[in-house]
Amino acid sequence: MAKLPTFMIIGAARSGTTALYDLVRQHPQVFMSAIKEPNYFAFEGEPLDYKGGGAEFVNNSVASWDAYRGLFADAPGGMAMGEASPLYLYAPDAARRIKARLPDVKMIAVLRNPIEQAFSHYLYARAQMIEPLDSFDAALAAEPERLRAHWQPLFQYSSFPRYGEQLQRFYAEFPANQLRVFFYEEYRADPVGLLRQIFEFIDVDPSFVPDVSHETNMGGQPRHAWLQNLVMRPNPIASLAATIVPPSARQAIRDLVSKRNLSREKMSDAARAKLVDALQDDIVLLQGLLKKDLSYWLE
């Protein structure tokens, strides 16, 4: 019998999903796919031909069912098996595709104030050196043209965090008890407590406490573009280093350089107003779905 995921982290992007992947996989009763974001159900059956910065990350998604199943082939028996693909929450057909293949899978979503999420997504893209515009206002204005040019989904900053309509698709396919929704503020305030709830949800020992000290996926405006390119984008020096320096050490060096080279600017009032206008209706929808007051997101 094929081994398949018993749970998945479906999003939202820039809401701690990379940290959760790293933390959940520390549990001795959990097997996580070695590829952190397989994205299989986001693009199943679709051509992977996206354009724009970082398109290779999307175009290299796991594209076949056999390859996807292979991610879990080495899982020891009796383990909870999972993956983390934040694009699942965003992709219009992901919920239907997951239901067809994994009708009993448990799903975890972590939501973040969508106005903050959109700006964080932009700063992440700048830190990764895949967003060419050094103004968030300009990047928001460029969204329609980028959509027409088939840029990868990340660059639709204002539509990426429409959680209400996204969760509606999942609730239409799955019973509510298969989906747990948390909030980024809960993770930041008490990561161990949130992980305990996740461990209970996926049926592993909730008393296990992972190491929560490492910060992942920082975003910001590069002070020195050449230095950020050196540590983030493919280049001969990075290729040479890969033959000498172990992956864990390269990751540590990259994180240290990025942390010191990135500055955190503030969102402009104009950009905030544009996002509030674009996302207000969806926040109201989400409040009704979750029976939770989220009006503070619009302040």
Going along the chain from its start, the domains and CATH numbers come out as: 7-215+279-298 (3.40.50.300)
Structure tokens that stand for 75 in this block: 């899982």
What pLDDT does residue 214 have? 75
pLDDT tens per residue across span 140-176: 999 999 999 999 999 999 999 999 999 999 999 999 9
What pLDDT does residue 270 have? 97
d(CA 51, CA 153): 10
- To the nearest whole number, what is the mean pLDDT of the chain? 90
What pLDDT does residue 256 have? 58
d(CA 121, CA 132): 14
Lowest model confidence (mean pLDDT) among 16-20, 27-31, 89-93 = 16-20
Lowest model confidence (mean pLDDT) among 78-92, 94-108, 262-276 = 262-276
Taking 60 as the threshold, does the pLDDT of residue 205 lie above it?
A: yes
Please give the model's pTM, rounded to 2 decimal places. 0.85
At residue 226 the predicted structure's pLDDT band, cuts being 50, 70 and 90, is very low
Q: Which of 119, 167, 132, 158 is nearest to 287 (CA)?
A: 167
For the chain, state the CA radius of gyration: 19
Taking 90 as the threshold, does the pLDDT of residue 48 lie above it?
A: yes
What pLDDT does residue 2 have? 80
Percent of the chain with pLDDT over 90: 79
